[in-house]
Structure 1
């Protein structure tokens, strides 16, 4: 992976860190301005604390937080979405990282509107960027909602992100733009990048445009995946953009249930049980019911993931014999496993811990409702997946 001058973290590692920091306010309820300030301060602290290891990143756009509940400057909100862009000189050339947050664990809107609204697909609304090889690209209603929200966000001085990226590329010929995000951000970042290209009518002149999604659920159908791959091809092995954390490729822990969602729902078999066998059997039966229910709901849609790079995180030392232990494993594999694999644990310890605590708290809360719903479904009641036409 390419190194930045006088640094020890690769460009991929630095972009991943900037992605992670977009989540710094996700466990907070505050005014939108204070949520934005918290992310700004987190990026500034990251750059200062890692001087000599990373480039001199500075905020170029945002941060901008949004809430479906409104924009009263005195009201307290959870951020539905958080978006910012940071710039620096890397290898003597300008680089812009556009980073967007994942699911706000305490915000029901994110879970319902931007994560789980996947039964309905909609036509890709932003054009094909001049590529005619994907006739009918579609994305989930959830991804469409998230991308529309991001495109509607405005920096008071710089306007919307799509126009800002276009202006930045004109002012910085030979530059690189990287769209990045984790979890929900791992679905939104490639989709926002594709929308930006599409609205531009194709690639930006004299600019390298890349993505770095991680743990991203599948955004859309096979034609959307083909449209994305045309503009964001998988790096050639051995190239500067390849490696253990390649650009344009969803980074996926094989023990993480989130990036397997929609296209191939399989919630069982991710972990080796070293605890109570009876609990394992009960969980397998419960999750098999959830698998069948999910397939019955989305079986009439086709989802195809974008290109992905897998790794297998070391299983946490947890003997799960309760829902708390089981969902603790899910959170560990969805969050903490990624900075460990990328090799940036020491740069992100505080943010990772805060994200894990907030996610585990909410997953355990939602698990009670999910369990009750699944136990009400016997396998015989679950509809069989519809055959794709």
Structure 2
């Protein structure tokens, strides 16, 4: 029999691509069925365009979109969450990738309920998988909401993702399951992986379970980080699971603000402006006020990031001449920098453009609101002196 050529993209690169494609409908409002169809079509187009470079992936579960507003088949929604799973044979063994979308930038629910609800931490509710070395794991209320939403999603044919993954591991002994996502998905994917193990009562038998988060905000407290690390240790750099895009490790652009949330928010000086000195000083004062707003919200909570692999996008520092320009730099470093670093940007151009369009559209709105809030805080502080 003729031998099939080995894929030219690594398993990490392939999983990252499948993760990224879960965001293909991020700039759309439509029926849930049409949003799901758009992601399915984007995945199928990627598989066709990259045949020979990747394994024989096929969609095994989903895609399923959900909205907190309901599930009327005729109503138009933004997708609060998008989740799907793809299966393939990789190096002679079965592999399943569970991919979840990041923040839908046009969806206020995602921003408020699954991203920014971080003032309150809640007890980790899914069990410790038999590990007693982290007695009080906690996660942000936002992460808890997101995980609950993902676990509630149902594929009409295959049920919930927990039951599907459990059944898949039993039917595919010696297989590998990878949970992956970017941004909000970078916080939810390691947490969903930990929830799957916790609800299973421990690791899946005869299965390698991995994560591939990128740009993920910090999900929880030090005990949650310890619980996660116990089941998902960072791989050796020179191993097949290691390298420049290692499994079980949050991939972080050093010039990306998002992965520092919620443990070290610092807008001031994050990007250097070497232009007009008066503008620089005014921006520094504004950004310092924004830092004060952020730290005032989260200063009494303890968050600890999971293990991360850092790279530095080029160029790190670019002049800007407005708050919108500053946030534009944040968007570029949070989105397009990642597929470029992973080496797959050509395969993901359309999805990256959709994610960027949605994000930049919201930057204009958020920049105005943040400016007003920061200036008001500054005025109150000055009056109190």
Q: TM-score range by the shorter chain?
A: over 0.9
Q: CA RMSD in A?
A: 3.7
Indicate how the Cα distance of structure 1 residues 291 and 385 shifts in structure 2: closer, same or farther if over 3 A, else same. farther
CA shift digits 1:74-111 (9 cap, x unpaired): 00000000000000111111110000000001000000
CA shift digits 1:8-27 (9 cap, x unpaired): 11100010000000000010
CA drift of 1:260 comes to: 0.2
Stretches of structure 2 that go unaligned for 5 or more consecutive residues are none
Indicate how the Cα distance of structure 1 residues 369 and 386 shifts in structure 2: closer, same or farther if over 3 A, else same. closer
Partners of 2:158 and 2:69 in 1: how far apart? 24
CA shift digits 1:162-215 (9 cap, x unpaired): 110000000011110000000000000000000000000000011000000000
CA drift of 1:386 comes to: 18
Partners of 1:323 and 1:132 in 2: how far apart? 47
Partners of 1:169 and 1:235 in 2: how far apart? 22
Partners of 1:385 and 1:258 in 2: how far apart? 28
Aligned residues: 380
Q: Is the 8 A contact 2:197 2:203 kept in 1?
A: yes
Q: Is the 8 A contact 1:335 1:356 kept in 2?
A: yes
Matched residue of 2:252: which SS? Answer: strand
Indicate how the Cα distance of structure 1 residues 35 and 168 shifts in structure 2: closer, same or farther if over 3 A, else same. same
Q: Is the 8 A contact 2:274 2:280 kept in 1?
A: no
Indicate how the Cα distance of structure 1 residues 27 and 201 shifts in structure 2: closer, same or farther if over 3 A, else same. same
Indicate how the Cα distance of structure 1 residues 275 and 388 shifts in structure 2: closer, same or farther if over 3 A, else same. closer
Indicate how the Cα distance of structure 1 residues 279 and 3 shifts in structure 2: closer, same or farther if over 3 A, else same. farther
Q: Is the 8 A contact 1:300 1:387 kept in 2?
A: no
Q: Is the 8 A contact 1:80 1:110 kept in 2?
A: yes
Q: Structure 1: which 4+ aligned runs deviate by more than 4 Å?
A: 1-5, 384-389
CA drift of 1:278 comes to: 2.4
CA drift of 1:327 comes to: 1.4
Matched residue of 1:234: which SS? Answer: coil
Stretches of structure 1 that go unaligned for 5 or more consecutive residues are 375-383
CA drift of 1:279 comes to: 2.3
Partners of 2:186 and 2:241 in 1: how far apart? 18
Q: Is the 8 A contact 2:5 2:52 kept in 1?
A: no
CA drift of 1:282 comes to: 1.8
Q: What's the TM-score once normalised by structure 1's chain length?
A: 0.94
Match of 1:380 in 2: none
Matched residue of 1:333: which SS? Answer: helix
Q: Is the 8 A contact 2:271 2:316 kept in 1?
A: no
